Structure 1
């Protein structure tokens, strides 16, 4: 239980800190994450003053710590607690690997964004699309995990 609590508290603290740190960026980070074309990406980057772009790039190493934390937390919650005990074995496996898989997509997005924000790379439209698809997959998996936890809590209360 220590590892579960530690990862959970770490994810909350780091996530809140990063949200506060990135709050001045307008448009926000989510808009950049879902920029599927070089033009959409450039509109956001060029709306930011240089110090905001530097702020965004500076957060990426900490975001790697966050994704490791939430990936571990999701796995531990699904495998070390009885939260999903009323779920089928298939659902338990899905719950166990949803956040680690989201973290893999998040890592891919971070690496691509690090590279894409280093200098303009407008001739590589597919790279921007892959980065946005990785982000969309990450967010979909995060929502899926949240729905799974809510469903498990409802099943637990109903029992």
Structure 2
């Protein structure tokens, strides 16, 4: 039916939006809408209504976190510098990137989930090392063994 004063009073009390499809709103109802600052949306075309509702819902939903694996490196040698363990690795595929999330896999099982603290190529601090190259990786753990695999990944929000 048409949008009434009671619809608008209820919407004002619950901070809701009033949506009308092929409806009218009489002058007293318009006054209530203006006085109570209720958002009234009226549509004559169903597709416009559906598009607006979908856009509104997209903004209300929390984004989905999407994980993307960017590379794997095999630990071939262990070095220590003070209390820090450095993994001498060969990058198997993708890239290793400083600062990204990383999982330490031992026998296919995750033994640590953290991030890559530092990345070195020969003696240089680098931002990224590509597949086929060797590098030194420092994780936020010292429990690293030869044969472990470091899986680097990113996590980014994706709107619903």
Q: TM-score under structure 1 normalisation?
A: 0.23
Structure whose residues are more often strand by fraction: 2
Structure ranking higher on relative contact order (CA contacts 8 Å, 6+ apart)? 1
Which is higher, the Rg of structure 1 or of structure 2? 2
Structure whose residues are more often helix by fraction: 1
